[in-house]
């Protein structure tokens, strides 16, 4: 057989097809086309939905061990928290029961002592719930407006409290709303009592110190006065406005100066003077004191006329 008639091409088994570079270019172009088509026309969204639906049971089965471990750990940690909370609640309940028993005993002793000494019974406090509407427009004062007025029985001079202590005093009453001057206003002063020492003094509003966390100043206290940081100040009840024993402030800073006979004492209000929403309006103590008997008034009138 002549050599020119031989087929020099490789057998089909050894044919390589397109080159690697051609395949890379083709599949890269196809990938770019599919990505652009997916972004522009979302052609693969149905395919994704079908695949997600078909694979959901597999995913659900694969996640069951993880969920079981999470549920078990959450159950165990919740059981531990429940046990600790139960123990803490039982401890608090025991303390509250002890305090309740002590309060009952103290009330009984107080009643017996008052009867023994023929003292007047403590006045009953009448309160009214109110809501803060907005702050007063005057930038030079610290006042708020509440949604109770003359029609609801609010009286001028009534103390205003929140859940923490004395917030201020009613200084203007309208038919439907009232104006409350806060304890940090420079025009407001409250007679207070130091719970630790029993010393009486007067706390004045100090709006300039409100930014530093204070807001009240205890004035006319000597440099050698027995006051300490952290002392609680409550209403003394001697002014005929505030009931006795209401928390007012805590002493936060004391400055004793050698050149001054008085100490500079700053106090932090107990009430939330910058964010109170729900408050209580209390009738003044003077409104709860019974009027003077007519016989006493008749006996006092001639003496006044005779002195003239």
303: in domain: no
272 in the same domain as 136: yes
231 plus 161 within the same structural domain: yes
284 located within any domain: yes
Total structural domains in the chain? Answer: 2
Considering the domain architecture, whether residues 137 and 151 belong to the same structural domain is answered as yes
Q: Is 53 in the same domain as 164? A: no
pLDDT at 164: 86
- Does 39 fall in a domain? yes
The enclosing H or E element of 206 equals none
In a domain, 4, yes or no: no
265 and 142 assigned to the same domain: yes
HSE-up of residue 75 (Cα within 13 Å, Cβ side): 6
Identify whether the C-beta of residue 220 lies closer than 8 Å to the C-beta of residue 266.
Answer: no
Query: Residue 59: beta bridge partners?
Result: none
Is the domain of 253 the same as that of 164? yes
- Give the DSSP letter string of 110-159: HHHHHHHHTPPPPPPPPEEEEEEEEE-S-TTS-EEEES--GGGT--TT-E
Do 177 and 223 share a domain, yes or no? yes
For residue 85, name the pLDDT band (cuts at 50, 70, 90).
Answer: confident
Task: Please identify, among 68, 97, 121, the residue that sits at the C-terminal boundary of a domain.
Answer: 121
110 with 135, same domain: the answer is no
Domain of 231 in residue numbering reads as 127-288
When the pLDDT of each residue in the chain is averaged and rounded to a whole number, the result is 81
The 10s digit of each residue's pLDDT in 26-43 is 889 888 888 887 778 777
| Domain endpoint, select from 79, 97, 121 | 121
User: If residue 81 lies in a helix (H) or strand (E), which one and from where to where?
Assistant: helix 45-117
104 lies in the same domain as 138: no
The answer to whether residues 101 and 211 belong to one domain is no
Block residue for tokens 């050599």? 3
Q: Look at residue 158 in the predicted model and tell me its pLDDT.
A: 92
CATH number at residue 222: 2.40.10.340
pLDDT tens-digit profile of 139-158? 778 899 999 999 999 999 99
Q: What is the pLDDT of residue 293?
A: 65
**Mean per-residue pLDDT for 49-69?**
84
| 169 and 279 housed in the same domain | yes
């Amino acid at each position: 057989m002549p050599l020119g008639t031989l087929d020099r091409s490789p057998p089909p088994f050894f044919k390589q097809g397109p080159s690697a570079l051609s395949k890379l270019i083709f599949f890269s172009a196809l990938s770019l086309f599919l990505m652009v088509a997916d972004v522009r026309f979302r052609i693969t969204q149905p395919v994704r939905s079908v695949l997600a639906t078909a694979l959901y049971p597999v995913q659900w089965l694969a996640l069951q061990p993880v969920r079981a471990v999470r549920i078990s750990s959450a159950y165990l940690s919740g059981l531990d928290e429940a046990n600790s909370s139960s123990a803490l609640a039982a401890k608090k309940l025991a303390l509250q029961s002890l305090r309740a028993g002590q309060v009952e005993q103290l009330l009984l002793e107080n009643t017996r002592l008052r009867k023994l000494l023929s003292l007047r019974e403590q006045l009953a406090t009448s309160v009214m719930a109110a809501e803060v509407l907005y702050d007063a427009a005057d930038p030079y004062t610290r006042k708020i407006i509440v949604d109770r007025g003359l029609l609801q029985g609010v009286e001028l001079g009534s103390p205003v409290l929140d859940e923490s202590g004395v917030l201020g005093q009613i200084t203007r009453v309208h038919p439907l709303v009232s104006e409350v001057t806060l304890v940090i206003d420079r025009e407001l002063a409250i007679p207070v009592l130091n719970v630790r020492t029993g010393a009486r003094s007067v706390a004045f509003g100090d709006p300039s110190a409100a930014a530093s966390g204070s807001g009240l100043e205890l004035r006319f206290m000597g440099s050698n006065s027995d006051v300490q940081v952290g002392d609680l100040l409550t209403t003394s009840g001697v002014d005929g406005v505030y009931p006795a024993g209401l928390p007012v402030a805590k002493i936060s800073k004391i400055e004793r100066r050698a050149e001054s006979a008085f100490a500079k004492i700053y106090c932090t209000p107990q009430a939330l003077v910058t964010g109170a929403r729900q408050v209580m309006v209390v009738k003044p103590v003077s409104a709860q004191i019974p009027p003077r008997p007519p016989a006493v008034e008749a006996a006092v009138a001639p003496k006044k006329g005779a002195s003239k």
